[in-house]
Amino acid sequence: KLSNRLQLVLEQIPQGSTVADIGSDHALLPVAAVASGRVPSAVAGEVNPGPFEAARRGVAEAGLGKVIAVRRGDGLEVLEPGEADCITIAGMGGALIASILDRGLSLGKLEGVKTLALQPNVGEDILRRWLLNHGWVLTAEHILEEDGKIYEILTAVREEDAEGITNEQLYRDFQLAGGTVCDRELLLEMGPWLLQAPNAAFFAKWQGEIAKLQGILTSLTRSEQVSAEERRNQIAAQINQIVEVLACLP
Ligand code: SAM
């Protein structure tokens, strides 16, 4: 059975699309996507030899060797332009996912891709910024807690396919009930859709971030340096902003 995390990534794949799962490891996601009838065929890409072999084994054991191509290569290199209409990348840092997309873009490998379903482990803001800067619009964001870890899943389509959702709208500054302004930077950090419909995992994530920042603040308080004072003020302001935002959410 798939983890709830990968199940939620799977649910972002449009029915009937051709999916490429990059950094597929055991190929659990493409195997489940094909076996469940969601997609007719898939590509599993892996750069490292161990996970590549694991993906080959996973596909062979599922008896899906004819419909899932397992390929070894870096990022989107494994794709022919136009081959996949949905790309999934899960379980890596946001910066690595953004660099894979960047390189794929310059190689023309995003041609024909309509949907991106991405699950960064950290650095979600980096990925949101990449999407925003490259003409992709978030159509959904999910956050869940599993086995003590919190995961976010970002789903994006191209601006022209976003059916009325625009980045302008998604990242427009707005004022919370208490007067705090949610600006673009904060929306990139916290997620425009997640902020609209926060769940328990969202609150847990940001309570955790507050605790981390407070830890940094405590260690800086022991420092006598002038530069530490500036940094302290910055962090204190960051904490206040998060606290105020959380207090104003439904
Ligand atoms: N996607 C699976 C999941 O979410 O459970 C596996 C995640 S695993 C933590 C990350 C995988 O990405 C590793 O198997 C690693 O070899 C692969 N990977 C890292 N960088 C990559 C790249 N540039 N291209 C392809 N695969 C990559």
Strands 136-146 and 174-175, by their bridges, are unpaired
At which residue do the structure tokens 């208490």 appear? Answer: 178
CB–CB of 118/88 below 8 Å?
Answer: yes
The residue contributing the CA closest to ligand 1 atom 9 is: 91
For 167, the 3-state DSSP assignment is helix
For every one of its 250 residues, what pLDDT tens digit does the chain have, with 9 covering 90 and above? 899 999 999 999 999 999 999 999 999 999 999 999 999 999 999 999 999 999 999 999 999 999 999 999 999 999 998 999 999 999 999 999 999 999 999 999 999 999 999 999 999 999 999 999 999 999 999 999 999 999 999 999 999 999 999 999 999 998 877 777 889 999 999 999 999 999 999 999 999 999 999 999 988 887 777 778 888 999 999 999 899 999 888 7
Asked if the ipTM is above 0.95, the reply is yes
Q: How far is the centre of ligand 1, averaged over its atoms, from the C-alpha of 235 (Å)?
A: 33
How would DSSP label each residue in 104-131? HHHTTTTTT--EEEEEESS-HHHHHHHH
- Ligand 1, atom 2, lies closest to the CA of 24
Cα 131 to Cα 27, 69, 173, 203: the distances in Å are: 25, 27, 18, 24
pTM of the model: 0.96
> Could you tell me the domains of the chain?
4-165 (3.40.50.150), 174-248 (1.10.287.1890)
The phi and psi torsions of 234 (rounded to 5 degrees) equal: -60, -50
3-class secondary-structure state, position 177: coil
Q: In the structure, which protein residues have their CB atom closer than 6 angstroms to any atom of ligand 1? A: 6, 22-25, 45-48, 51, 74-75, 90-92, 100
